Amino acid sequence: MLKSASAVLASLLVLTSIGLAQDGHFDASVNGSGVFTKTSDGNGVSQSATDGSNIFGAIRVKFNPKHSVLFNFGRAKNSQVFQAGDSFHVQNTIAEYTGAYMFSPFRHGKWEPFVLAGGGVLRFSPGSTYVFLPELPNNVPDHVLVDVGASTQTRTAFLYGLGVDYRVYWRFSLRLQYRGLLYKAPDFHVETSTTGSPLSFFTGAYGHMAEPSIGLVFRF
């Protein structure tokens, strides 16, 4: 999987160098999005995530009006939730490093629709982990902080999306898009708890993040 992601990024870099040789031009964008994660089940564990947010930048190299490559660098935050006997919430930051081919079929007035597909890596960096305990008496905290030995984990990801750029003024455009990221669900290398009792966050399933976003684009 890592070799596949490296091959995709290497191909995009080659295409970029070709585009530059053909006098392609750049644009750069700053985007904000919501992050919505589907539930993944496997190995007796159910994995999901709380709704979160993502800030990501993108640099596009345009070969001609229809064909471009796009590089994304982002940071999202949410809590990964594992139902493994108890309910474990792992606060985490997700760093994104992806590239994609972008196709813009036409331009109509100020509108320029596009579709994209590519890949890269997501790096899941855990923070605090909480166990939530339901049905406790009033005035008793419903969660406790625990150390399950979670550690940073990198997953390869497939990226796809579609959207539209709307030119608003001079070199500035508004970008509305939907992105999806498909990846192997993280488990943070958790295998046993600090008490020594068996505990695993491994599902063996694939996760999916949906990211509707809005951004501001500047064309060079």
pLDDT score recorded for residue 125? 98
pTM of the predicted structure, to 2 decimals: 0.85
Tokens read off for 173:
């455009």
HEC profile of the chain: CHHHHHHHHHHHHHHHHHHHHCCCEEEEEEEEEEEEECCEEECCEEEEECCEEEEEEEEEEECCCCEEEEEEEEEEEEEEEEEECEEEEEEEEEEEEEEEEEECCCCECCEEEEEEEEEEEEEEEEEEEEEECCCCCCCCCCEEEECCCCCCEEEEEEEEEEEEEEEEECCEEEEEEEEEEEEECCCCCCCECCCCCECCCCCCCEEEEEEEEEEEEEEC
pLDDT grade for 130, boundaries at 50, 70 and 90: very high
**141 vs 6, more confident:** 141
Q: Residues 34-75: pLDDT tens digits? A: 999 999 999 999 999 999 999 999 999 998 889 999 999 999
Domain 2-219 annotated CATH 2.40.160.20: yes
Domain regions of the chain by residue span:
2-219
The label of the residue with tokens 């919430």 reads 89
pLDDT score recorded for residue 137? 60
Q: How far apart are CA 106 and CA 32, in angstroms?
A: 25
Lowest mean pLDDT: which of 36-45, 118-127, 140-149, 189-198? 189-198
pLDDT grade for 84, boundaries at 50, 70 and 90: confident
Q: Is 12 exposed, middle or buried (CB count within 10 Å of its CB: 0-12, 13-18, 19+)?
A: buried
Tell me: pLDDT of 185 over 90: yes
Nearest to 188 by CA among 131, 110, 119, 128: 128
Tokens read off for 164:
């539209």
Mean pLDDT of 79-92: 92
Mean pLDDT of 180-185: 97
pLDDT score recorded for residue 85? 80
